[in-house]
Amino acid sequence: MFESMVEFEQFFSNLENNKWHSVAKPNEPSETCFVLLSTLHPQLEPSNALLTSLSALPVAAVAKVAPHPDLPSALGLKVSANVAAVKKQLSDFLAPNQALEVNVFANAPTIKQPGLLVMDMDSTAIQIECIDEIARLANVYDEVASVTRQAMQGALPFSESLRKRVAKLEGVSLELMAELKDNLPLMPGVKALCQHLKANGWTLAIASGGFIPFAERVQTLLELDAIHANTLEDNGKALTGKVLGTIVDADEKARFLTQYAKELNIDKSQTMAMGDGANDLVMMAASGLGVAVHGKPLVAETADVAVNFGSLLQVLYFISLPE
């Protein structure tokens, strides 16, 4: 397909935005998937080694994908093969790379139809883990962070880990909680992503193993349609160290996404789930497209696609391919 970087750059510069251009006529392919090459740098520059691997694929069509003015154009390839086969061919280039993201996927939702995005909150919609920050206030950060890491890596059931961590927060004043809530740092690009999705008729929600006061704040900041998170018990002045009601764990996140989509009459194919931890994988599997956000290695490898670095606005690449 491409024999040199010069040939690739000339080819890419001649493409029109968001329109498939035929490259080769496949021999009645039984499966089709997509390869997306994206970067936050102004110039898309895959290596010669990657170009060689791409040239060996049964590429049927290509497109320049330009979903938003704040994103550089990406290259989309329509390949006449299944995801597993293409990932095997491109295995050397799928590891996180700050210069160039390579994603292989199939059957993504489209921005052109109403859809549902359900996001994790901590380290996904916002840059921090709220429970860790509360732990700093209680001077038990190291103990809580250790349990958090085990949960995010899948080494400890989430419900068990949450109860253990919350128990250590007994006595944290509600005044300190309110101060933390009012200073949540949003993940770069998430507000622009939500605004773009809302403008295109999408419904937005959070399903979080975190806590309702913080989810409510994020809901306000991002104009979300719904939230689902955990309730911390308090005595009117401080936390008691207990969680009330059903814990929002991996299965509960997936249940929420599935039920909410049903209520909205949105097909699974038009749903998208985003998260960074192992407790987000069940929700991702229940959605039309699972997106790892700056995820742990297990999550980045398991999710359908990944944004490993930079702005969450890059999620638009995956749902903006031509029809």
pLDDT score recorded for residue 42: 67
* Tokens read off for 133: 């920050």
pTM: 0.93
* Tokens read off for 161: 């880990």
Taking the C-alpha atoms of residue 293 and residue 97, their distance in angstroms, rounded to an integer, is 14
Beta carbons of 47 and 318 less than 8 angstroms apart: no
Q: Is 108 left (phi over 0), alpha (psi -120 to 50) or beta?
A: beta
pLDDT score recorded for residue 158: 83
Q: Which domains does the chain have, with CATH numbers?
A: 5-105 (3.30.70), 116-318 (3.40.50.1000)
Residue appearing with tokens 């996927």: 105
- Output the CA–CA distances (angstroms, integers) from residue 109 to 27, 73, 101, 115, 276, in the order listed: 26, 19, 19, 8, 20
Taking the C-alpha atoms of residue 249 and residue 279, their distance in angstroms, rounded to an integer, is 7
Write the pLDDT tens digit of every residue in 125-145: 999 999 989 998 888 898 888
pLDDT score recorded for residue 137: 84
pLDDT score recorded for residue 4: 75
* Tokens read off for 98: 């700050």
Active site residues: 120, 122
pLDDT score recorded for residue 67: 95
Beta carbons of 153 and 278 less than 8 angstroms apart: yes
What is the mean pLDDT, run by run of 10 residues, along the chain of 323 residues? 76 89 72 92 78 90 94 94 94 86 95 98 95 89 82 76 91 93 96 98 97 97 98 96 95 98 98 94 97 90 94 97 91
Write the pLDDT tens digit of every residue in 28-74: 567 899 999 998 876 667 888 898 899 899 999 999 999 999 999 99
